[in-house]
Structure 1
Amino acid sequence: MSTRERILDTYEAILIGEGERAATFDQIAANAGVSKGGLLYHFPDKRALAQGLLDRLRALVLEDAARMEVAPEGPSAYYISSSAFTGDPLDRALLAATRLGPEGGFHLVREIFDEVQAIWFRLILAEVGDEPVARAIMLIGDGLYYNALLTGGLDMGAAAVEPGRIRELIGVVDKLKSLA
């Protein structure tokens, strides 16, 4: 793993575990096992560090969208199935981005979240062909994700969604699609 990626992993972990105020350059450098100068070489300021995290998030979303587009079960079922928080790299990047405040470029977070939602919505809309149905499917997935974060976040013992519940929700999505 490159030094840059190790720094981003560390930044992400601190944001998730302790919040943006705890993500000082000294703390990030110490936790990543690099000198402060090494950190500043890759990320000269907090804005660059936040941008690095958001660039990672964008790349992970584009990879996810590519899988979603060709998923045998279809984009809608894929979206619902992948909306249960598992702590994978995409989940971690999304959660870390939500922890960025004004110092980390919160306006940039809003832009990327709008972009992410538009990508997923476009794929679901292409499958179902009806905007209100596509929005309802998005809201089901978003609700699953939000609920998981509220009830446990990274402690998945409390937040895990049983596979049977996911299948039930996919059944609801199939009913919605049949209405489109």
Structure 2
Amino acid sequence: MPRPPAARAKLLDAFITILNEQGERAATLEAVATAAGVSKGGLLYHFGSKDALVDGLMAHLVDLADEDVATMRQAPEGAAAYYVRSSNFEDSALDRAIVAATRLSQGENAAAQQALLRMQQGWLDALTDEVRDPAVARAIILLGDGLYYRAAFGGKVLAASTEEMDDLLGIVRRIVDGGATA
């Protein structure tokens, strides 16, 4: 994936930051331009409207999610273990884009809802390919969602410890290998 121009990337990052820290109402074109250190005309050169800015963010999210799915599919420990282990909010570019898209999705933004669904489907497809059972793949997704929610909204204090993560990964391995009990 070619890197976007620096100004475009700065604008997307500013938009994400404002969405995440202040919400959708605060994410005006003027606020985004100011936060990115560009003129409103500079913003409009890259994104002709707020809808175009949202579309740019959703394309960015989809690109990041596609990269994550590719990494997941190639993970030496397997897709399920990778998914669970990486289901921790770490303020990465993907995490920040997910939270921003979720903010927009809560406001019933169809583009955000579609991008989030596409991201989730990519993860589900990768898991289903490994475990061969869609219900088991969904259960793993829900386990990861719980870990992510706990870390994102509860802070580092509630993030899974190394021991807890090892225990969860042991359970996931047993599920993937076909025996849900010890």
> TM-score, normalising length from structure 1?
0.91
Q: 1:168/1:74 Cα in 2 relative to 1: closer, same or farther (>3 Å)?
A: same
Instruction: Confirm whether residue 119 of structure 1 aligns to residue 122 of structure 2.
Output: yes
**Bigger shift: 114-123 or 143-152?**
143-152
CA distance in 2, matches of 1:102, 1:146: 16
**Bigger shift: 143-152 or 131-140?**
143-152
Aligned AA (1:44): G
- Identity score, percent: 44
Pairing 1:58-137 to 2, within 5 Å after superposition: 58-100=62-104, 106-137=109-140
Corresponding residue for 2:23?
Answer: 19
CA positional deviation for 1:77:
0.2
Cα-to-partner distance string for 1:90-138 (whole Å, 9 max, x where unaligned): 11110111111587x7111111111111111111111111121111111
CA positional deviation for 1:150:
2.1
- Aligned with 2:94: secondary structure? helix
Pairing 1:19-58 to 2, within 5 Å after superposition: 19-58=23-62
Q: 1:44/1:102 Cα in 2 relative to 1: closer, same or farther (>3 Å)?
A: farther
Aligned length: 175
Runs (4+) of structure 1 exceeding 2 A deviation are 157-161
**Bigger shift: 114-123 or 94-103?**
94-103
- Aligned with 2:25: secondary structure? helix
CA distance in 2, matches of 1:87, 1:161: 16
Asked whether the equivalents of residues 147 and 159 of structure 2 are also in contact (C-alpha less than 8 Å), the reply is no
Q: 1:114/1:87 Cα in 2 relative to 1: closer, same or farther (>3 Å)?
A: same
Runs of 5+ consecutive residues of structure 2 not aligned to the other structure: none
Instruction: Confirm whether residue 158 of structure 1 aligns to residue 157 of structure 2.
Output: yes
CA distance in 2, matches of 1:159, 1:46: 36
Runs of 5+ consecutive residues of structure 1 not aligned to the other structure: none
Aligned AA (2:48): P
CA distance in 2, matches of 1:170, 1:65: 19
CA distance in 2, matches of 1:177, 1:7: 42
CA distance in 2, matches of 1:132, 1:9: 36
CA positional deviation for 1:158:
3.2
Q: 1:101/1:77 Cα in 2 relative to 1: closer, same or farther (>3 Å)?
A: closer
Asked whether the equivalents of residues 121 and 138 of structure 1 are also in contact (C-alpha less than 8 Å), the reply is yes
- Aligned with 1:84: secondary structure? coil
Asked whether the equivalents of residues 62 and 119 of structure 2 are also in contact (C-alpha less than 8 Å), the reply is yes
Asked whether the equivalents of residues 149 and 159 of structure 1 are also in contact (C-alpha less than 8 Å), the reply is no
